[in-house]
Every structure is written in C-alpha cells, then in structure tokens.
Amino acid sequence: FEAKERTETEVARRDEARTVRGAMDTLPSEQCQVIELAYFGGFTHTEIAEMLETPVGTVKGRMRLGLEKMRNQLRFMEVTSS
C-alpha cells in the first residue's frame, strides 16, 4: 500500500515538474535564468546580481515578471486541461 502511494506521489511530482518546466520554457531567457538560479540553485537576489553583473533591482524585476508570466501560463494550462 505504501509503495503504491509513493509511486503515485512520484508520478505526480514528475508531472508537476514537467508542467513547471513547460511554463518556464515560455519565458525570456533572462527571466528563466534568474528563476532557475534562485529556486533551483538556492542563490539570493544579491548573489544572482553579482554573478550576472546586473543591479539587484534588475534581478528582482526579472524575477517578478517571470513569476507573473509563469503564474498566468500555469493558470491557462490548468483551464485548458480541465
């Protein structure tokens, strides 16, 4: 019983990861890059700004716009799959 639940959970996580990756693929590369560095790399806005030699405000703006676009894309995907 537990193994079946684990398998179902793993499948759901993979599906979710695929959906998120699909939404990220719609973003401009600069927005995708800062989101990947922050959420998958664990870097702070300041660290990302230093790595990219970009002002912190620019990193925050790219992050905000990218997350907003992803949110809208995920909502659209949810509506069209229902």
pLDDT tens digits for range 2-56 = 777 778 888 888 988 888 888 999 999 999 999 999 999 999 999 999 999 999 9
Collapsing DSSP to helix, strand or coil, 61 comes out as helix
User: What domains are defined for the chain?
Assistant: 2-81 (1.10.10.10)
**The one-letter amino acid at 69:** K
Look at residue 72 and tell me whether its pLDDT is greater than 70: yes
pTM: 0.78
So what's the pLDDT on residue 82?
65
- What are the backbone angles phi and psi of residue 8, rounded to the nearest 5°? -65, -40
The larger pLDDT score, comparing residue 76 to residue 49, is at 49
Is residue 1 pLDDT above 70, yes or no? no
Q: How far is CA 41 from CA 49, 52, 58, 77, in A?
A: 14, 14, 18, 26
